[in-house]
A and B are shown apart, each in its own frame.
Chain A
Amino acid sequence: DMKVTQMPRYLIKRMGENVLLECGQDMSHETMYWYRQDPGLGLQLIYISYDVDSNSEGDIPKGYRVSRKKREHFSLILDSAKTNQTSVYFCASKGANTEVFFGKGTRLTVV
């Protein structure tokens, strides 16, 4: 059963706190992504990972960092969260050819 799992699904943090969003996939895909989705906008790419310890910035990397120590696991870290990082975050992994699989998202609220 091919799937991308995100944890947690919902998170409330205070401004300045650290945030860890986790993503796992069971398909041995090399390429994984972190996106954020805000109302009225398309998904915006934060980071891409091409494999273990092979990460590249996306279009909006400022304020975020990532970690990929195992192929099946890709983490997004917010050091000192800001209120403008309130959003829904999606993890995705890239399959063969054009296939891409998305997790169900993590709704983060920074207060």
Chain B
Amino acid sequence: KTQVEQSPQSLVVRQGENCVLQCNYSVTPDNHLRWFKQDTGKGLVSLTVLVDQKDKTSNGRYSATLDKDAKHSTLHITATLLDDTATYICVVGDRGSALGRLHFGAGTQLIVIP
């Protein structure tokens, strides 16, 4: 059973527009949540990590929120660029220790058009 659900599955936006990606999960315990960017044919690159019960982070044009009570996270991308075209993957870690497992969403495919 999928424990990390991402929506939308795919999204097309025009360059300069903002977008919001959603992540809902049922992983327990939920130690932390990390958003990755995966360019086509490449590995996963970390964008941000959220750890607190209600957390917010900001990394340039990327900002994210986490609500552990709702088991929900959002990734906001402002003023999108063509280079933002990629798959964005939500990952929930059930522990911070080496014994912890990572639970992956299937990703949201973002396409930014001119």
Q: Chain A: residues with CB nearer than 8 A to chain B?
A: 4, 30-31, 33, 35, 40-45, 50, 90, 94, 97-100, 102-105, 107
Contacts and interface: CB of A to CB of B under 8 A. Distances in A.
B96 A42 contact: no
B102 interface: yes
15 contacts: A31-B98, A33-B102, A35-B104, A42-B89, A42-B103, A98-B31, A98-B49, A98-B93, A99-B46, A100-B46, A102-B45, A104-B42, A104-B43, A105-B42, A107-B41
B4 interface: yes
Given A30-B98, A98-B49, A105 B43 contact: yes
Given A33-B102, A42-B4, A45-B102, 17 more contacts: A30-B98, A35-B104, A40-B106, A41-B106, A42-B89, A42-B106, A42-B107, A50-B98, A98-B32, A98-B51, A98-B96, A99-B46, A102-B36, A102-B43, A104-B42, A105-B42, A107-B41
Interface residues of B, number: 25
A40 B104 CA distance: 11
A24 to B, nearest CB: 14
B98 A43 contact: no
Closest 7 CB pairs of A and B: A42-B104, A102-B43, A43-B104, A104-B43, A102-B44, A31-B98, A98-B32
Interface of B: 2, 4, 31-32, 34, 36, 41-46, 49, 51, 89, 93, 96, 98, 101-107
A89 to B, nearest CB: 11
Contacts of A103: 43
A104 B98 CA distance: 22
